[in-house]
Structure 1
Amino acid sequence: MDIHKLEVFISLVETSNYTRTAKALHLTQPAVTHDIKSIENEIGVRLFNRNKRYVSVTKDGRAFYLKVKTIINNYYSAVQDIQKKDLEENSKITIGYSYTPFNDIYVPQWINKFQRQHSNVKFSIISLNHNELKQHLLSNEIDLVLTTGNDAKDLENIKAYTLETESFKAIVSKKNPLSKKKILKLSDFQNQKMLYLDNNWAAIDLINLQDKIRHINHHLNITYANNLSSLNVLIKGQQGIALGLFCLYPKLEPYLKYVPIDWKKTVDLVIAIQKNNEKRIVHEFINFIKSEMPNFT
């Protein structure tokens, strides 16, 4: 027995008239008659008394009506609840967040501006280290994450949208003679204090460059930071030379300077999402970010 037939039954009890029920449900009168007879045949009980002029519900029909009415009301309530939940889920964007000075500046701006254009959207932030974010993306626990192209390319069923491509630079104190160079060779870091990011937080591009510099220069004083927030404090405290990108550190303190590095490999800043993510609001947010990206020159 389907919901449609039960709706016909309820309407006929309440109208006591085939014509009015047919009109209310946009059916023909024969269709109403057919559905009522089908119900009676299925349960084996007469639900209505009929003659040429009127129809009235039987005692059994009234008892059946009271039970079925509750079931139908609960059904539509459940449908509305699940539709509301689905609407809320499709209006929610969960961002995988890992602190960088860039993210700290621009992600709040993007969220605020996008929500002014889409008042129903709700944002959720999940803050994890670099490797944990990739796992959450693969398990569909987050909608999108900002990462590098090389980090995203080996992830299964992940699509990456490129926002910017740039080269690594050294973040050097202006007190350091290396700040006067136009470009730094990897061997120029000999005997320097270096600030390295722990591999759990560093993208593969940075890990490769850090390893290369360490192998070329045998006399380095390396301080490791276990996250980008700690690394940023050490950079500002002029505790050594860091390896940076504008998409990590868009603004430097006046006493610091970017110096290009002779390292031909470039880094793509990308937004990574699951290929099967069909949430329209997520794709609109990605397009919005692409239009809002700062112009790195």
Structure 2
Amino acid sequence: MYLEHLTTFVNLVETLNFSKTAVNLNISQSSISQAIASIEKQLGVTLFYRSRKAVSLTPAGQEFYDRVKPWLNEYNKAVQHVQQVQNAQKMNLTIGYSGTPYEHTVVPELVRAFCQEHPQINVFLENYAHQELKGHLTHGNCDVIFTMPDIIAGMDNLAYHSLLIGYYCLIVPSEVKLGPPPISLEELSKNRLIFLDHRWCPPTQDQLQKEICRNNHSLDLAYVNNIATARAMVKARLGWGIWANFVSDPNDLDLKKLPLSTKIVPDYGVAILKQGSPQAARQFVSWLEKTGLPG
């Protein structure tokens, strides 16, 4: 199986568009079809559903992508690492994050500042859901992850470093008028609420959502499986969101955060391996603890 074919497969999964992949990789659409056909023949499975209007992944295609993408990332990093070792230039550091609006805004700024102070460290970023990030950290595919202590609870091989103690809040459009915060949980029945699916959200948020349900006999609820969708629905005026203050984009003036009246307190920070964590990861954590995070 050729590396170029795997690269083509991964790109097509991420675009689901032959034309975009052709532009991204500077190859013809027929070359893409040949690469996918070659992989499918060798594996003996169908990777994509194809029609004249759309391309989508089969279950086998999704499974293959989930396993190939981290490997391909590691291969590319290994190539660069070997080249750098040859020239004795830099240490590598891979930082994982789940892609909250806060992280999309703050992480690039933090990494840029860190790299300015530590030019000898070559930084990579990866964006995955919480469960995948934990696995990547445990298996050495990344070196440090932004997370919460309840997400990694029970993982004795990980060391957690708290950076920000936050609060859970009601997320509403800026024009919404409610009483002075903190907002009581009983007030949340006034409008449709957007909850995160318990399989995706942090355990403390799942706990809070259950508490809200106990305090309200009648709720209009919508469940979504990621924070980006929840935020989009609030911005579309389709309901009110519930999440920690450090999940929101600090520069988003279209939405406002109203603290909720609850004893559940969220914590945000980073995790690294207790044993075998690379020097660059330890340096990054020390730098974060010294620098702090925007609140």
TM range (shorter): 0.5 to 0.7
Q: 1:281 corresponds to which residue?
A: 280
Q: CA deviation at 1:172?
A: 2.2
> What one-letter code is carried by the residue in structure 2 that aligns with 1:97?
Y
Matched, 1:111 2:108: no
**Map of 1:226 onto structure 2:** 225
Q: CA deviation at 1:186?
A: 1.6
CA distance in 2 between counterparts of 1:166 and 1:227 reads 20
Q: Which runs of 5+ in 1 are unaligned?
A: 1-80
Q: Is the 8 A contact 2:245 2:257 kept in 1?
A: no
Q: CA deviation at 1:193?
A: 0.6
The verdict on how the C-alpha distance between 1:249 and 1:86 changes in structure 2, with shifts beyond 3 A counting, is farther
**8 Å CA contact 2:195, 2:222 repeated in 1:** yes
Q: Distance in 2 between matches of 1:87 and 1:217?
A: 63
Which structure has the greater CA radius of gyration?
1
SS of equivalent to 2:198: coil
208-217 vs 92-101, greater mean Cα deviation: 208-217
Question: Counterparts in 2 of 1:236-251, with a 5 A limit?
Answer: 236-251=235-250
- State the distance in 2 between where 1:242 and 1:89 align: 46
Partners of 1:257 and 1:82 in 2: how far apart?
Answer: 47
Root-mean-square deviation over aligned CA pairs: 2.6
Show the counterpart of 2:3.
none
Measure how far apart 1:198 and its partner are.
2.4
Cα distance in 2 for partners of 1:91, 1:117 equals: 14
Q: Which runs of 5+ in 2 are unaligned?
A: 1-80
Could you tell me how far apart the structure 2 residues matched to 1:199 and 1:107 are?
25
Under a length normalisation based on structure 1, what TM-score does the superposition of the two structures give? 0.65
Shift of 1:281: 1.4
Counterpart of 1:162 in 2: which secondary structure? strand
Are 1:127 and 2:127 matched, yes or no?
A: yes
TM-score, scaled relative to structure 2? 0.65
Question: Within 5 Å, which residues of 2 pair with 1:191-202?
Answer: 191-202=190-201
For residue 142 of structure 1, give the secondary structure of its aligned residue in structure 2: coil
Deviation of 1:104 after TM superposition, in Å, equals: 0.6
Give the drift of 1:90: 7.6
Please state how far the C-alpha of 1:153 moved relative to its aligned partner: 3.1
Structure 2 contact 89–120 (Cα < 8 Å) conserved: no
| Map 1:28-177 → 2, pairs under 5 A | 85=85, 91-177=91-177
Off by >4 Å, runs of 4+ in structure 1: 81-90
Cα distance change, pair 89–268 in 1 and its aligned pair in 2 (3 A): farther
Q: Give the secondary structure class of the aligned counterpart of 2:150.
A: helix
SS of match in other structure, 2:245? coil
What is the alpha-carbon distance in structure 2 between the residues aligned to residue 88 and residue 238 of structure 1?
A: 54
Seen in structure 2, the aligned counterparts of structure 1 residues 86 and 186 have a Cα distance that, compared at 3 Å, is farther
**Alpha-carbon shift at residue 210 of structure 1 (Å):** 1.3
- 8 Å contact 1:196–1:242 — kept in the other structure? yes
The answer to whether the 8 Å contact 2:183/2:259 transfers is yes
C-alpha distance in structure 2 between counterparts of 1:201 and 1:169, whole Å: 18
